């Protein structure tokens, strides 16, 4: 049975998903794409879907970065990847209690809304459970692409896991990740 909710956009986590994670990076010259990331984003565009980024940037709240540095790094990511339709980042720390910081759903809902979509029409691809939890809480699809820092329990709990960003995109484009409306109740929460 076809999924009643079409996939219309893919939102990517930034650090360790789109680009190599350099903790609290404020230097655009250090930005390097993750393996298969450039091809994965190009494939999403070729499929006619929107592309966006949702990223926690607590370095701002911690006083390790200023917002202009985060924006400069984001601009470099845009340059390398050919631009994104929407960017959302959370400048808050874990203790701030905001609604935007992943695993809360605020950024996912905001990015979907900026694209004129319901969260059920988007997918989130990330490297840790917080990315998947934010997606599920918003009502979006989610795929985990583990890295060496992804905890084994996060991988075990994820309903959909791909070895590379390109594989995650192909799984999504093939309809292999159902919308929450289509997902069976026994699926994991990620």
122 has which bridge partners? 9
Residue 142, H or E segment: strand 141-144
State how beta strands 50-56 and 9-12 pair: parallel
**C-alpha torsion sign, points 170, 173, 174, 177:** positive
In eight-state DSSP terms, residue 189 is -
| Pairwise CA distance, residues 123 & 172, whole Å | 8
Residue numbers annotated as active site: 13, 15
Copy the structure tokens of residue 136. Answer: 């599920």
* Closest-CA residue to 18 (of 190, 153, 147, 113): 147
């Amino acid at each position: 049975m076809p999924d009643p909710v079409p996939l219309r956009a893919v939102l990517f986590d930034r650090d360790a998903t789109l680009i190599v994670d350099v903790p609290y990076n404020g230097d655009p010259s250090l930005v390097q794409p993750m393996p298969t990331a450039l091809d994965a984003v190009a494939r999403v565009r070729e499929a006619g879907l929107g592309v966006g980024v949702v990223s926690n940037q607590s370095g701002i709240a911690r006083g390790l970065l200023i917002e202009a540095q985060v924006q400069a790094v984001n601009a470099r990511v845009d340059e390398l990847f050919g631009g994104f339709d929407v960017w959302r980042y959370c400048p808050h720390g874990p203790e701030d209690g905001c609604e935007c910081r992943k695993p809360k759903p605020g950024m996912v809902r905001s990015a979907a809304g900026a694209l004129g979509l319901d969260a059920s029409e988007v997918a989130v691809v990330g490297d840790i459970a917080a990315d998947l939890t934010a997606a599920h809480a918003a009502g979006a699809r989610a795929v985990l692409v583990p890295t060496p820092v992804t905890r084994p329990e996060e991988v075990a709990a994820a309903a959909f896991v791909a070895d590379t960003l390109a594989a995650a995109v192909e799984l999504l484009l093939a309809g292999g990740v159902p919308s929450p409306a289509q997902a069976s109740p026994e699926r994991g929460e990620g």
